Structure 1
Amino acid sequence: MALLEIEAVSKAFGSLKAVDDVSFSVGAGEIFGIAGPNGSGKSTLFNIVTGIPFGPDRGRVRLDGTEIQARTGDAIARLGLARTFQRETSFDGLTVFENALIGAGFGKPGRPARVIREAAAEALDVVGLPDGAFGRLAGELSVYERKCLMLATAVAMQPRVLLLDEPASSLTKPEIEASIGLIRRIAARGVTIVLIEHVLTFLMTLSQHLLVLNNGRVLAAGAPEAVIADPRVVEAYLGTRRARP
């Protein structure tokens, strides 16, 4: 049984159909990639799946068989579905450790303070932020470190499914390589990952299944190698079909 199921979800803004009848499912423990040109509906899809800041106009979202599309974003997060954003988000006036504490406390309310602190420290360790960084203000971090902190805050929530929106954006090549290892470490902890990215090599390296959106609709889905070779995908990215041999 799929852990995350998206069934015929749609979202329109006036006459613009940002997401149009999109369906797919993600198995437990999978890394599932989503690609598509700018404006294809990728981030809007994450918004309606997580309820942040809005749900779908129609369609169903199921987490482990439970429909969640009518729930609020905070309720969905506490059920085990967390996300990160394209831009690095943090409480810049708080320390690295305090940011992680917020995620740990929010994800599992009612836990003892000691357990929350342990979860925060463990999450920071997973993403590679050392003890020496715990007392630094989040606003003082580099772009890559801020991305790591955003991931740590999400991991500290102990989600079952983690949605990552363009984690490689604005990173250098060495930082992208480090991010690949980081995401694999998170997945190795039993977290199911759904990943949006423009860097196709990043998606190809990590994803077990790949879905491509175009104009809000599913253009292709399946094994990454087959999807990338699909002439429709080539046309969507390059604007022209490959010449026949």
Structure 2
Amino acid sequence: MALLELDDVSKAFGSLKAVDGVSFKVEAGEIFGIAGPNGSGKSTLFNIITGIPFGPDRGHIRFDGTAINGKSGHAIARLGLARTFQRETSFDGLTVFENALIGASYGRKEKGAAAAAREAAAEALEFVGLGSVSFGRLAGELSVFERKCLMLATAIAMQPRMLLLDEPASSLTKPEIETSIGLIRRTAERGITILLIEHVLTFLMSLSQHLLVLNNGRVLAAGEPASVIADQRVIEAYLGTRRAVA
């Protein structure tokens, strides 16, 4: 059984169909990439999967066989599904450690003792390279790359089974992107299934076992990454028609 299954999922805002009849499955243990031009519905898809801030208008979403349509964001998180966001989100007036502790305390499948939550937060921060600044810096003092690492650590501290990453490479330098690729690979090696959105196809190609491309809210192509990016429809969605490119 797939860990995550979407069947004919749709979301509209008035006459705009942001996500239109999307279906796919993500197997446990894999890194599954989602690409698409701006406005193709990628982040909206993450929103309706996680229930933050809304669910689908139509279709079925199952996580580990459990229907999650209509469940609240925190209920979905406690089933073991966590996410990060396009923009670097944190409680800027709290320390780095306190941010991760929030995830460990309130997002985990089972609430543990305070000591267990602190241990989970500290371990996650050490994993992403922020252990040395856990207590000495506020989240608002971090660089863009460090804030992205903090988002990842906070999500990992929730001890999820699956992690949705929304454009983790955006606004990063080339060396930071390479570091991010390594972090995501190591996260998957922890046994966490990854669903990954990114504009940069080379980033997705370096990580994904399967690749899906959205365009205008619909699935344009899906399958083995090398075959997907060679699809003429995908080339035209990113670059325009052959005549336009010429």
Pairwise TM-score range, normalised by the shorter structure: over 0.9
Q: Tell me what 2:211 maps to.
A: 210
Structure 2's unaligned 5+ residue stretches are none
8 Å CA contact 1:126, 1:185 repeated in 2: no
Matched residues in 2 for 1:35 and 1:132: separation? 34
SS of 1:98's equivalent in the other structure is helix
8 Å CA contact 1:84, 1:163 repeated in 2: yes
Whichever residue aligns with residue 121 of structure 1, its letter is: A
8 Å CA contact 1:209, 1:224 repeated in 2: yes
Matched residues in 2 for 1:133 and 1:105: separation? 16
Whichever residue aligns with residue 40 of structure 1, its letter is: S
Let me know the Cα RMSD of the aligned residues.
1.2
Matched residues in 1 for 2:40 and 2:153: separation? 28
Q: How far is 1:130 from its partner?
A: 2.5
Deviations 1:160-213 (A, max 9, x none): 110000000000000000000000111100000000001111000000000000
Deviations 1:92-122 (A, max 9, x none): 0000000000000012353111100110011
SS of 1:71's equivalent in the other structure is coil
Q: How far is 1:132 from its partner?
A: 3.6
Q: Tell me what 2:37 maps to.
A: 37
TM-score normalized by structure 1?
0.97
Q: Tell me what 1:149 maps to.
A: 150
TM-score normalized by structure 2?
0.97
78-87 vs 125-134, which moves further: 125-134
Q: Tell me what 2:15 maps to.
A: 15
Matched residues in 1 for 2:193 and 2:48: separation? 18
Aligned residues: 243
Question: Following superposition of structure 1 onto structure 2, how do residues 45-64 of structure 1 map, counting pairs within 5 Å?
Answer: 45-64=45-64
Matched residues in 1 for 2:161 and 2:188: separation? 10
Q: How far is 1:128 from its partner?
A: 1.4
SS of 1:20's equivalent in the other structure is strand
8 Å CA contact 1:35, 1:196 repeated in 2: yes
Q: Tell me what 2:222 maps to.
A: 221
Matched residues in 2 for 1:26 and 1:85: separation? 20
Matched residues in 2 for 1:143 and 1:32: separation? 25
Query: Could you list the runs of 4 or more consecutive aligned residues of structure 1 that deviate by over 4 angstroms after TM superposition?
Result: none
Q: How far is 1:29 from its partner?
A: 0.5
Q: Tell me what 1:92 maps to.
A: 92
Matched residues in 2 for 1:133 and 1:47: separation? 29
Matched residues in 1 for 2:69 and 2:31: separation? 22
8 Å CA contact 2:3, 2:27 repeated in 1: yes
Q: How far is 1:11 from its partner?
A: 0.3
Question: Following superposition of structure 1 onto structure 2, how do residues 60-71 of structure 1 map, counting pairs within 5 Å?
Answer: 60-71=60-71
Q: How far is 1:123 from its partner?
A: 0.6
Q: Tell me what 2:180 maps to.
A: 179
What percent identity do the matched residue pairs reach? 81
SS of 1:2's equivalent in the other structure is coil
Whichever residue aligns with residue 65 of structure 1, its letter is: G
SS of 1:59's equivalent in the other structure is strand
- Give the direction of change, closer, same or farther, for the CA distance of 1:149–1:8 in structure 2 (3 Å limit): same
Q: How far is 1:129 from its partner?
A: 1.1
SS of 2:9's equivalent in the other structure is strand
